[in-house]
Amino acid sequence: MIVRNKRTSHNTLVGWLLATLLSFSSLLVVAAQRTQHASPFSFAIVADSQIGMVRLERDRENFAKVVKAINELKSGVRPSMAIIAGDLVDHANNQRELDSFIQVEKTFAIPVYLIPGNHDLARDGKHFEPSLLDLYRKNIGPDRFVVRQAGSLFVGLNSQLWIEGGGLAAEQFKWLEQQLRHRNQYRHVFIIQHHPLYLEAADEADEYFNTPLGWRTKLLRLFERARVTAVFTGHLHRNQSSTYHGIAMITTPSSCRNFDGSAFGYALVTVTDNGFSYHYRGVPGTLPDERPAK
C-alpha cells in the first residue's frame, strides 16, 4: 500500500501510524519470540537544520530553539538520544555555517547521532565531492553510525553516496548488510538517511529528491528481507509518509524552511515492544521564513 500525504497534518500522520502499526505488530510477534523485551523509550529527529539556507543568524536561532525544546522535554517523553538527518548546513565549504551548526549542536543535553545530506557533501547540492566528505569527517565526524538502544538497532547512512559515490557506495552497502545480519537479536530496526528512497512509487524515475533506482532497488530488497521497522529521512522540507511492504517510510520537515507550511520543529518517536508512534512538533517562537516562496 502506498500512502502519500503531501500536506500530512500531525493528527493525520498519527492516525495513519496507528492504523499501520497493526500490520507492523503482526510482523513483530514473530520477532518477539527471539528477541529480548525492550522498555519504552523515545528519540528525537531533527532534519535539514541547513544553516545558511534562509539567513545564517536566523537559521542558527531556529535550530537553537529546536535543540532547547528537545532538551526541556520532561520524563515520560524525554528522548534518550537525538538524530540529525542531514543537510546540517546549506554550503558544505562555508566555515561560518559549519561553526554555527557545531556551536548549537554542542548544546544538546543528550547524545546526538548525525548523518550528512547533499548540501553537506556537494557544493551545488547535487554532485558529490570526496574532498567535502573529508571536510565533513574532520569537522563533524563519521558519515554513518550504528547505535543499539533498548533492544532496537539504529543504522545511519550517507545517502549522498547512493547518488554518485561509486566504490564508496558499494562499500557502504556491504557494511549495511553486515549490520543487518543479526537482525533477529533486535525488536526493531530503524534506518536513517537524508534522501527518501522514493516519493510516490518504488520504481519511479530518478530525480533530485529520491534515491537512484539502482541502489533504491537493492536497499528496498535488503530492508524487506531484514524486516526493517521504519526508514526516517529528511531532504523534502515537508511532512511525508508511506509504507513499503510493511516498512514505514517517514520524512521529517526542516527546522529551517518548509515547502508545505509545516512549522519548524522536530519529531518525537516513542518505541514500545509492539511498534512506535511518531509525532512532529512545531517549536513555538521559531522565526518565520524571510524568503519569498519558490
C-alpha grid cell for residue 188?
A: 526493531
Q: How far is the CB of 209 from Zn ion (least distance, A)?
A: 8
Of 153 and 256, the one with the shorter C-beta distance to Zn ion is: 256
Window 40-79: contact mask with Zn ion (x via CB under 5 A): ----------------------------------------
Q: Which is nearer to Zn ion, 87 or 289 (CB)?
A: 87
Q: In the bound complex, what is the minimum distance in angstroms from residue 232's beta carbon to Zn ion? A: 14
- Which CB atom, from 117 or from 165, has the smaller least distance to Zn ion? 117
The amino acid at residue 52 is: G
The span of 81-89, 130-138, 220-228, 247-255 binding Zn ion (CB under 5 A) equals 81-89
Q: Which stretch binds Zn ion (CB under 5 A): 86-94, 95-103, 158-166, 171-179?
A: 86-94
Q: Which of 52, 79, 117, 253 binds Zn ion (CB under 5 A)?
A: 117
Rounded to a whole number of angstroms, the minimum distance from the CB of residue 75 to Zn ion is: 34
- Of 235 and 257, nearer to Zn ion (C-beta) is 235
Of 15-23, 112-120, 161-169, 183-191: span binding Zn ion (CB under 5 A): 112-120
Of 109-117, 147-155, 174-182, 259-267, the window that binds Zn ion (rule: CB under 5 A) is 109-117
* Count of residues near Zn ion by CB under 5 A: 4
Q: Does 118 bind Zn ion (CB under 5 A)?
A: yes
Exposed/middle/buried for residue 29 (C-beta within 10 Å: 0-12, 13-18, 19+): exposed
Give the C-alpha distances (Å, rounded to integers) separating 272 from 38, 78, 277: 7, 14, 9
Chain centre to alpha carbon of residue 157: 9
All three cell numbers of 32: 518477539
Q: Which residues pair with 188 in a beta bridge?
A: 152
Q: According to CB under 5 A, which residues from 215 to 244 bind Zn ion?
A: 235
The smaller minimum CB distance to Zn ion, of residues 210 and 286, is found at 210
User: Contact residues for Zn ion (CB under 5 A)?
Assistant: 87, 117-118, 235
